Structure 1
Amino acid sequence: MPPTSTSRREYGIPISASEPFSLFERDTDLKQHASYKTAKAGNEQAAFILLKELALHFLIGIKGKLPKEAIFVAPFARESGGDNAIPQVLATFCQSIFGGEVDNDIVQATRVFHTGADPMERLAMRPEFEGRVRPQQPYVLVDDVTNMGGTLAELANHIQQQGGTVAAIIVLVNAGRLKHLAPDKTIIGKLERRYPNEIINLFHICPHALTANEAQYLIGFKTADEIRNRRTKATQEIHRRLRSKGVELAAGDDG
């Protein structure tokens, strides 16, 4: 079964950016804010209110820890109407506090419907990014919530493939079990010995480009057949979950 994304994730999140600046460790701390649902539904004014009340002091507190003239980039879809407004408004907040600029060229070209997805579904439904990257320029990735870190890893991969650098990551919630995003080299070595080709063939991800939580998840499988079977089941679960929401994937969108 071919991977969802046609591009290969060749670059991982750099060690220098592996520890995101984060405000919370649980998304419940974010979801309980009165403006959250409206902001998540695409209302920029609600996102502004949420960030002003929750994140302003947090952001001011990390001023001076980021490179000067950084480019702040958030993962957002090409057609973002009705989508989560928090990441892009967060990028604007960062620019106003730290200086630099907000990137509007890089967009998420595919919708992956990760809300409610389990780890294998997230690996099976990889987002793709497109858009111009400025070579040698420092980018700071910003998002509201990260779990496995896969979306941020795909964004980092796109930037590095095009010659940019990933200087730091800012998230409101770092909800992954492992809080650092770069994987442990020992675990990557075990994965490469145990599955010399399977991870690339199944997911189009080079093992060294996995996130810490992705690698930790995959090391829990004992055989390649277990991974293949779980991935097949995940594909079925993706269709079932999305059909319940009235979404039908086009042929090939599920890998």
Structure 2
Amino acid sequence: MNAPWDSDSFKLQDHPAYWPAKRKRDAKAAIALCDDVVAEENLELLYDLTYGLEPIVAAPALILHETQNALARGFAGWLSAKMNWQIDREIYQAKTINRDFNTNGWFRIVNEPEFYGPVQAGRPYILADDVCAMGGTLASLRSYIETGGGKVLGMTVLASGSGKNVQISLVGDTFARLTGAWAGKLVAAYPTEIGHELESVTEPEGQFLLRCPSYDRFRAGVDGARDC
């Protein structure tokens, strides 16, 4: 993470380049935002992580003519130029449902992004996005790339809610608590209701589910998200 999405000290959306990049497909604004926000120490961490390798930078973004948002792809391009890495120009997010600006947890769990395009099997990847909410978009892209034979080494985003790094992969204790939730009803119902196994949720998604007090509330949340 490079910056907080919303804090008392700084809000990414208050940067003058944010809305032109996010809503008006302004590539120059996206680059200017990256210049101001990306921390040098994070670039050093990425360099150490990929030392001796030549990763491809991929972004969870729609094809250009389907979106006005240049920020995720702009960050990926900025990062590839800065680090002298290749940028992916073949993997795209399918235009199924718009998740931008929707921070409702149920909506994001139910409406997972889909991707298409060839993966370069055997190659390492770094994922770059603009904002991390619950990590589902990045996790879905990671799954798509690794199913296609690529290897995701790491992820980076311009901002998260608090500006702190986010644990994406589900930790063991969280999974154990999810498995036992509501006398095992959650782990039994999740594949049918959501379409994949419970162990593939992200850590923020897992914590969100644990705050749900009952199976009935879970069903209400899922049904409500489908009706959006």
CA contact (8 A) 2:168 2:203 kept: yes
Consecutive unaligned residues of structure 1, counting only runs of 5 or more, are: 1-21, 239-255
Alignment of 1:111-190 (within 5 A): 111-114=96-99, 115-175=101-161, 179-190=166-177
How far, CA to CA, are the matches of 1:170 and 1:58 in structure 2?
Answer: 12
**Percentage identity across aligned positions?**
25
Question: Which residue of the partner structure matches residue 8 of structure 1?
Answer: none
Question: Which residue of the partner structure matches residue 37 of structure 1?
Answer: 19
Q: What is the deviation of 1:169?
A: 0.5
Question: Which residue of the partner structure matches residue 18 of structure 1?
Answer: none
How far, CA to CA, are the matches of 1:58 and 1:40 in structure 2?
Answer: 25
Between the two proteins, the alignment pairs up a number of residues equal to 216
Q: What is the deviation of 1:191?
A: 2.1
What is the TM-score with the length of structure 2 in the denominator?
Answer: 0.86
Q: What is the deviation of 1:54?
A: 2.5
2:184 pairs with 1:209: no
Q: What is the deviation of 1:63?
A: 5.3
More helix by share: 2
CA contact (8 A) 1:70 1:99 kept: no
Q: Which has the higher contact order (CA 8 A, sep 6+)?
A: 1
Mean Cα displacement is larger for which, 197-206 or 138-147?
197-206
Q: What is the deviation of 1:58?
A: 5.4
Q: What is the deviation of 1:226?
A: 2.2
CA contact (8 A) 2:108 2:136 kept: yes
Match of 1:78 among 63, 66, 78: 63
Q: Which whole-Å deviations, capped at 9, do the CAs of 1:90-146 have from their partners, x for residues lacking one?
A: 111111122220001111013322223400011111110111111221110000100
Alignment of 1:48-63 (within 5 A): 48-55=31-38, 57=40, 60-62=43-45
Paired letter, 2:189: E
Q: CA RMSD in A?
A: 2.1
What SS class does the counterpart of residue 158 from structure 2 fall into?
strand
Q: What is the deviation of 1:45?
A: 1.4
Q: What is the deviation of 1:79?
A: 4.8
How far, CA to CA, are the matches of 1:64 and 1:124 in structure 2?
Answer: 35
